[in-house]
Structure 1
């Protein structure tokens, strides 16, 4: 079984008992005052725009995955091959693992020897922005989700290594964060959770307003929408990419607990996010349409465990395609595919089984990272 002392999404009961704050209604209302101006010409694009490539990482750490490592690698290989049917895929792997990773993925996937610890490319690969017709990468100083999981000395260097490998400019920032912390509509609006950013384990002593001003500067966004999130109950402190996702400007798909599920920190966080979206507009003044992505019945989920992430919101949009988790609840799986097909028309909806990946507290979006541009 997965090493329960080190899962990505683990219930940190001691932290919660010590007073970690969960989502609260109204806690993240838009602050008053004049918004900071974004960096001139810089833009963070939406995921549904064209990609040059998708990055994934070949998990290496036995101390994290223990005996589940082969199953997780098998699922990463399957995901990489599936995405490669639609756009170029680069798999980052330790040099000593590059050969076996290549054999597992086949010749449709490019394996690049860059040292990694784990599979969460969303969080370790730089966040790509476009400026003056060129792509650059923002390095958000990955620190193992606030130092909750070690070792991650190799993952700490992934952003610089990727930018060096592809000759892309590095944009620095004092913010410590992960790619899963951010969700954008590509038109100047950014959604984030306060729990994963205004947190002493990443940005000690920094206020929400300071962080917002810096995000506007380094990502080129014009409005930041803050959700409360959940503190201390998973290793990410509730990344937004398991909660709320754009499918178009003004349209948000929201994670929703399965019918009959008792209220918990996660359902309350989703309710709080809905209330925020109901009372604000995007960067261009559009009101939000919120559509539920209802979770599967946990009793029907294949390989379900305490740390499993079973959010359909953790989908991934690639060129002409959408990759959506298939959990084993046939009704819920089909419903999620239908919603995504309606909201992202003209793309092939590709279901992918990820029970091993999900058991580590992440999903398809967490395991992938897109680079904007035209495919080579």
Structure 2
């Protein structure tokens, strides 16, 4: 049974010791959300304009609930982003970027246990050198410097979208995205696990196999499985008739997580979310994930796909999982045809 008042680890209670630094869950109060303006035709080609419109829609929607800072790589892009996003979004040109996936290129913010924040850099390398990252490789460090935060670089290579944390000692990830020679050549799973636990201030890592080489991320977990709070996980499952590699992966994640306990010994409660039966896009790499949502102050920003029944059911599940928050569903098909979603394009900065 879920314990709404979990006790801190014994070591955090003895002798008045300060709690160790820890990456909090997405649902803690935020100071702001960070985003990045897509600007390169070399990356997006003819899809660039539509993707820009989707990013602007996400930014304006989040700005109804909390401040949004949009990073743009040059003066032209700054003006372009300001025009598209409007006055509610703060656009800056001091942190250049190559692409829009702020979840993976920004630092992971860690509370230091003494009322401050640290910025943790995961050594972004273009998802295993699959895409240009000349500027993206330095976003984490540049953002930390702009914010005046201590910057700590991890030993392992990874991305924020590849690691889910419950903020209470448990993290989960796919082996395919981290135990992979394109990120951590020569590292064993135990090596990666120790480094992730140290970076996130966690005690237990739950692994699912994942899929190598089928998408640019090597199967980030935040498309399929998400922590809602300690002890509670959402997993999106495909329609019964689907038997492709992604459908098998989702069912495997559901089975593995349903049999797991977390760092506190709680058996995970796993709630299934039914994926859409139909989508508007014809792209084979379209990400039809309701779970690639972004939690903000007072709301959950998620996708809808034009499947009236399944869209409504997902909305109800998210509303029940995050009581007291609005659930806002957006049509961002052009973004999701590019291999990621709303969560992938955002990074929250928690209140210290």
Matched, 1:327 2:309: no
> Which residue number corresponds to residue 26 of structure 2?
47
Q: Which residue does the alignment assign to 1:137?
A: 119
Match of 1:88 in 2: 67
Tell me by how many angstroms 1:278 deviates: 2.9
CA contact (8 A) 1:182 1:241 kept: yes
1:5 maps to which residue?
none
Question: In 2, distance between residues paired with 1:118 and 1:104?
Answer: 17
Structure 1 match to 2:7:
none
Give the superposition deviation at 1:74.
0.8
Which among 156, 161, 164 is matched to residue 145 of structure 2?
Answer: 164
Match of 1:112 in 2: 92
Deviations 1:112-151 (A, max 9, x none): 21211111010000111000211111101111100112x2
Give yes or no for the alignment of 1:310 onto 2:288.
yes
In the other structure, the counterpart of 2:50 is: 71
What TM-score, normalized to structure 1?
0.86
Deviation of the 1:208 alpha carbon: 0.7
Out of 330, 334, 339, the residue aligned to residue 352 of structure 1 is: 330
Alpha-carbon distance in 2 for matches of 1:363, 1:293 = 17
TM-score, L = length of structure 2: 0.92
Q: Deviations over 1:159-199 (max 9, x none)?
A: 11111111111011121101101111111110111000000
The one of 337, 343, 355 aligned to 2:315: 337
Residues of 1 paired with 2:35 and 2:238: CA distance?
28
Answer yes or no: is 1:124 the counterpart of 2:105. Answer: yes
Query: Match for residue 182 of structure 1?
Result: 163
Alignment gaps of 5+ in structure 2? 1-10, 13-17
Moved more, 252-261 or 361-370: 252-261
Matched length: 334
Look up the match of 2:228.
247
Alignment correspondent of 2:251? 271
Shift of residue 279, structure 1, vs aligned partner: 2.7
2: CA distance between counterparts of 1:101 and 1:287? 45
The secondary structure found in structure 2 opposite 1:338 is helix
1:100 aligns with 2:80: yes
Identify if the C-alpha distance between structure 1 residues 357 and 159 changes in structure 2 by more than 3 Å, giving closer, same or farther: same
Residue 95 of structure 1, CA deviation: 2.4
For residue 40 of structure 1, report the CA deviation from its aligned partner. Answer: 6.0
Residue deviations 1:224-251 (CA, integer Å, cap 9, x gap): 1001011111110100101100112111
Structure 1 unpaired stretches of 5+: 1-36
Shift of 1:371: 0.8
* Offset of residue 289 of structure 1: 1.0
Give runs of aligned pairs for residues 225-244 of structure 1, distance below 5 A. Answer: 225-244=206-225
Q: RMSD between aligned alpha carbons? A: 1.5
Contact 1:58 1:101 in 2 (8 A): yes
Of structures 1 and 2, the one scoring higher in RCO (CA 8 A, sep 6+) is 1
Secondary structure at the counterpart of residue 47 of structure 2: helix
How far apart are the structure 1 equivalents of 2:83 and 2:244?
43
Question: Which residue pairs with 1:365 in the alignment?
Answer: 343
Distance 1:243 1:296 in 2: 13
